[in-house]
Structure 1
Amino acid sequence: MTTGIRKAAFQAPRPAPAEPISDNPAARLEAMYRRIWLASMRDLPFVNLALSVEAVGFRRWQAASDPTSSSGAGPYGEAAPRSAASRERSSSDGLLGDWVGAVITPWFINLFIVPGGGDLWSDRPSGERCRLVFPIGPLEFIADDDASAEVPAYQYCPLFAPPGQFASQAAARAGAMAALNAMFGMPDEDCPRPAAEADPLLLPARRRFLRRVARR
């Protein structure tokens, strides 16, 4: 009997190396998802019509410089975070890091990584998962790419899909920023919240996110 390694019936082709995006990708992501919203999503029954497309909190971030914990190490592509001082040295050396932020749409709220020339990003076939380590701990991201899109390559971590628990764009924005601040280990007071809104579903957003991370 011949033995061998079992392979999936379909494997997505490995994409061409992603071109780093030098400017903040928020506007490109908003244009891309507004186009998708108008073309194919706005009539679906599960969308939250209180929400609109918005990219929030995008900043550059570097992975670890230690080669034993680089983005290509381990079965999930784990990468450990650098200290703030290390990231500052990287910026002064011209290694500005990849873009990390969140995108809000009427059908999801996700964390995103977009290539910016740093060492957090690694090229992966569409649908492949990789685990990256941030101050909060490891998070699993899913690769996606479309060579013709406004942002040809990105990786995303689902937060809320669909985001039906948010009653307004302000609530969704605050929930996304709470998740980002938790991911980067920032204190609660650094998270902007809408002054005139006391949405009870918004207040546990950070705790729900932390529980989701703990289950991974």
Structure 2
Amino acid sequence: MTPGGPEAGFAADARPTCGSCGVVYDPTAGDPGREVPPGTPFGGLPDYWRCPGCGGPQHGFTVAVPPGGNAMGTRVAALTASYRLIAERDMAGVPICNAALAVEALGFRPHGPGWIGCITAPWFLNAVLIPRDPALWADRRDGDKVEIDLPSGAYRFTAARVGVLGTLAVIPLASAMNVFTDQEDARAAAVLALDHLMREPQPAPQSDRPDASNREATKPALSRRSLFGRARR
């Protein structure tokens, strides 16, 4: 996904501000000097577009959260909107999609540099960490690995750029979504996965002579079997 495009996550009439220099992008005016016609929403900007004030990247633009507003809720809503647009525009009718499923954000909560939760979609189930600072992992390319500590242990997340939300950190949990019969089934799997990730490890069994099996028991584990090995209906 590119920095521009409708997946940027802003409303069509949003007037985002550059966090570096304060320039405001006005969709009614566009940016004719850079071949962006009037009426172009921020999400419709071409990939090459940069801040006209400082040359900064698109992910450096944000919409101010109103006083008393919910920053996490705003970012999660933008992420959900991004994937819903992708579902409607690019994924409708694609064979890997499960038509019984929908895009839904589940269980997001503050953690470390941002907010972590799960996203279900007709074509994937992912754990996602949204950074508070959209530029946090700006030097990472899609597919790069980012090691992040969770309560259950350290995990290697995959970097994924999503518009003005910046680069997210993602753990793919399921890609064969036809294993789920309906949205409730996928939702239950997401809740289970998040519980595994965010649960403190249990104390290791006591032993006078620690052996390999005891040491192995202390390692965090997140496997497809542990998450999705429950009986099918």
- What's the TM-score bracket when you normalise by the shorter of the two chains? 0.5 to 0.7
**1:107-157 Cα deviation digits (max 9, x unpaired):** 000010111149xx54422221122221222222111214xx363431211
Structure 1 CA distance for aligned equivalents of residues 156 and 225 of structure 2: 13
Unaligned runs of 5+ in 1: 1-14, 63-96, 188-205
Paired residue secondary structure (2:102)? coil
> CA separation of 1:209/1:38 partners in 2, compared to 1, >3 Å: closer, same or farther?
same
**Greater gyration radius:** 2
Structure 1 CA distance for aligned equivalents of residues 57 and 116 of structure 2: 21
Structure 2 CA distance for aligned equivalents of residues 177 and 169 of structure 1: 12
More deviation, 126-135/176-185: 126-135
Structure 2 CA distance for aligned equivalents of residues 207 and 126 of structure 1: 23
Which of 144, 149, 174 is the equivalent residue of 1:128?
144
Structure 2 CA distance for aligned equivalents of residues 150 and 106 of structure 1: 23
Structure 2 CA distance for aligned equivalents of residues 165 and 99 of structure 1: 27
CA contact (8 A) 1:129 1:140 kept: yes
Structure 2 CA distance for aligned equivalents of residues 53 and 108 of structure 1: 9
CA contact (8 A) 1:26 1:56 kept: no
CA contact (8 A) 1:129 1:141 kept: yes
**1:38-80 Cα deviation digits (max 9, x unpaired):** 1111111111111000011111112xxxxxxxxxxxxxxxxxx
2:169 equivalent to 1:155: yes
Paired residue secondary structure (1:51)? coil
Paired position in structure 2 for 1:138: 154
How far the C-alpha of 1:210 sits from its partner, in A, is 4.5
2:164 equivalent to 1:114: no
TM-score, scaled relative to structure 2: 0.53
Structure 2 CA distance for aligned equivalents of residues 17 and 33 of structure 1: 18
**1:160-201 Cα deviation digits (max 9, x unpaired):** 0021211111111111011111101069xxxxxxxxxxxxxx
2:89 equivalent to 1:39: yes
More deviation, 152-161/103-112: 152-161
Paired residue secondary structure (1:23)? helix
CA contact (8 A) 1:179 1:209 kept: no
Unaligned runs of 5+ in 2: 1-55, 66-70, 202-221, 229-233
How far the C-alpha of 1:209 sits from its partner, in A, is 6.0
Paired position in structure 1 for 2:78: 28
- 1:140 aligned partner, one-letter code: R
CA contact (8 A) 1:32 1:150 kept: no
